[in-house]
Amino acid sequence: MGVGRCLVLPWRCVVVLCLRLLFLVPAGVPVRSGDATFPKAMDNVTVRQGESAILRCTVDNRVTRVAWLNRSTILYAGNDKWSIDDRVVIVSNTKTEYSIKIFNVDIYDEGPYTCSVQTDNHPKTSRVHLIVQVPPQIINISRDITVNEGSSVTLLCLAFGRPEPTVTWRHLSSKDLSC
């Protein structure tokens, strides 16, 4: 991006510059995940909707800069909070761990999170995937219905949840109802 373009679209130059600085990646340097010299973040974190999730990234004393990102959104860069979401807080920024906590997790929080670190002038990233489970709920079920023996009947039970719930029907006879 040349200087002439920065005069026409100054906001674009600022965005590109911020992203290069924030992602700790010099232009043209590939970022590798799962490098043997960089301990990985957790593979997956599974929590129920409404609970809290802690995303951990193991670091060592060679790390000079750290950041947590969600998709293309910067959550934290070091101790500086970039996210406007009050539910996201830094839990640990030590010589061995860089962790964030997301309170009251919702389905929209599900997805990839990236821990980006700068070590010995080499940028590295590690990914963790947040999985949000939603307890099953029945949202629509057929009302009581009386039919003649031998007639067809259609019963409806609509339920949702994550993972998707399995609906099982059971016939209750008069024997099952007596105490």
Q: pLDDT tens digits for 97-144?
A: 999 999 999 999 999 999 988 887 788 888 999 999 999 999 988 898
Residues 62 and 103 in one domain: yes
State the average pLDDT over residues 82-95.
93
Distance between CA 100 and CA 41 in Å, rounded? 12
Lowest mean pLDDT among 26-30, 155-159, 160-164: 26-30
Q: How far apart are the first and last CA of the chain?
A: 80
- Does 87 map to a domain? yes
Query: Contact 117/38 with Cβ under 8 angstroms?
Result: yes
- Does 5 map to a domain? no
- Does 26 map to a domain? no
- Does 8 map to a domain? no
Give, for 3, the enclosing helix (H) or strand (E): helix 3-8
Indicate yes or no: pTM above 0.75. Answer: no
Domain boundary among 117, 134, 151: 134
Query: Contact 80/67 with Cβ under 8 angstroms?
Result: no
CATH of the domain at 42: 2.60.40.10
Domain that residue 103 falls in: 31-134
**Structural domain count, the chain:** 2
Question: Which residue spans within 3-141 are E strands per DSSP?
Answer: 32-33, 44-48, 53-58, 63-70, 73-77, 80-81, 88-93, 97-102, 111-119, 122-141
Distance between CA 148 and CA 153 in Å, rounded? 10
